[in-house]
Amino acid sequence: MANILENGDIYFFYRPKLDSPNPASLGEVQRFYLILMPDESQQGRLFVVGKKRLPEIKPDKAEEDERGWILLDLVGDAQAITNALHPKQYQTETRGKQEESEAIPAAAGRYQLLEKDQSSRLAYRLSQPDKLGNVQKALGILEAGSYVISVRNPDLEVPGFPDAKPNYPAKLKNQFAEERWLRITDLGLLAYEDAQMVLIGAHKDLQESDVKIKGQADLFGRLKLRREDWPCEALEKGQWSGPKGKLDNLSPASDRSKGGKAGGQQALKAPSAAGIAKALKGVKLPGDAVKLIRQARSNQAPDEIIETLKALPDREFRSMAEVEKALGEVR
């Protein structure tokens, strides 16, 4: 019998690449996000999904595409998560004013975190869209599905996973002992940014996982968004869509002001090459953008550098020359 740890809303968002204002394929997606909003808490979790798609679920098979990582990028209330989905605007020295579009809602549903058969599971059932389209198929989103979910030991290397490490207290770190993976019995493991999990496809039929998920998701209500401000073609019809471009209007419904942590536009100065070099001092390559951001934070880099690094494409960089070239394309 399953032991339910948590129920809540689950949302999926994608952010188009800077040079793809009208995306039509996965190759034009910069980031793919998974958001969990628990019923019994005001604190939600925003995850970055590795490979920009959920793992496949194949019966009676165990293949590489059935496994993928997610990284806990943000823990915060609805407004903090909404701010992370908002567009940003920043000034560069070489290319003038640059914009990063809003993340676009792709699906919404209800989820459960549960324990079953000596493993922890993440299961969900969609409320929207009514029928899957090209967007959901590209991102690996199903009408319903369950995944084995395990937390990575931050002190052990795992090939293909980001190098970021959560700042777990000793009480949580000691739970890992020498194990590479830990099933979720303590939700405190999901309360620290940079925590990483592996998802392994289990079942498309929730009855096989002994899961019953009830209710309808309330994406716009829980995240305090105004529906008219956000592109809804993917969420409602399963069709690819780009940003609306209404930068001045995209502030949380609870706070319509601009700038700052309340959302809306953020005017940032373009960081200099020397500033970025200082921020990345000591980084060991190869590594991805998550590793670069972690190094910059450990070097106490200013916010404008962190924001610039977040705009890097989701791929591995083998040298600083590759990093500098990619930064030149986003600055």
Query: For residue range 138-188, what is the model confidence (pLDDT) as tens digits?
Result: 999 999 999 999 999 999 988 889 888 899 999 999 999 989 999 999 999
Residues 178 and 226 in one domain: yes
Residues 149 and 279 in one domain: no
Q: Give the mean pLDDT of 85-108.
A: 76
Residue 175 lies in a domain: yes
Residues 232 and 291 in one domain: no
- Whether the pLDDT of residue 310 is over 50: the answer is yes
Please give the pLDDT value at position 216: 95
Please give the pLDDT value at position 85: 92
Please give the pLDDT value at position 218: 96
Residues 146 and 93 in one domain: yes
Confidence class of residue 114 from pLDDT cuts 50, 70 and 90?
Answer: very high
- Whether the pLDDT of residue 265 is over 80: the answer is no
CB 70 within 8 A of CB 54: no
- Average pLDDT of the chain? 85
Please give the pLDDT value at position 143: 96
Q: What does the alpha-carbon distance between residue 126 and residue 109 come to, in Å, rounded to a whole number?
A: 4
CA torsion sign for 220, 221, 225, 228 is: positive
Q: Give the HSE-up count for residue 62: Cα atoms under 13 Å, Cβ half-sphere.
A: 1
Q: What does the alpha-carbon distance between residue 277 and residue 120 come to, in Å, rounded to a whole number?
A: 41
What is the domain range of residue 208? 3-237
Residues 139 and 21 in one domain: yes
* pLDDT tens per residue across span 34-58: 999 999 888 999 999 999 999 999 8
Q: What is the residue type of 224?
A: K
Residues 291 and 231 in one domain: no
- Whether the pLDDT of residue 257 is over 50: the answer is no
Q: Record the tokens describing residue 241, joined without a space.
A: 């869509």
Q: Record the tokens describing residue 203, joined without a space.
A: 């079942």
Residues 207 and 110 in one domain: yes
Q: What does the alpha-carbon distance between residue 63 and residue 68 come to, in Å, rounded to a whole number?
A: 11
Please give the pLDDT value at position 254: 37
CB 271 within 8 A of CB 94: no
- Whether the pLDDT of residue 93 is over 80: the answer is no
- Whether the pLDDT of residue 301 is over 90: the answer is no
Q: Which residue has the tokens 């998974």?
A: 34
DSSP conformational letter for 317: B
Residue 21 lies in a domain: yes
pTM: 0.75
* pLDDT > 90 fraction of the chain, expressed in percent and rounded: 51
Q: Which of 48-62, 125-139, 250-264, 291-305 has the lowest mean pLDDT?
A: 250-264
Please give the pLDDT value at position 262: 32
Q: Record the tokens describing residue 148, joined without a space.
A: 């084995």
Q: What does the alpha-carbon distance between residue 232 and residue 70 come to, in Å, rounded to a whole number?
A: 25
Residues 178 and 30 in one domain: yes
Residues 276 and 200 in one domain: no
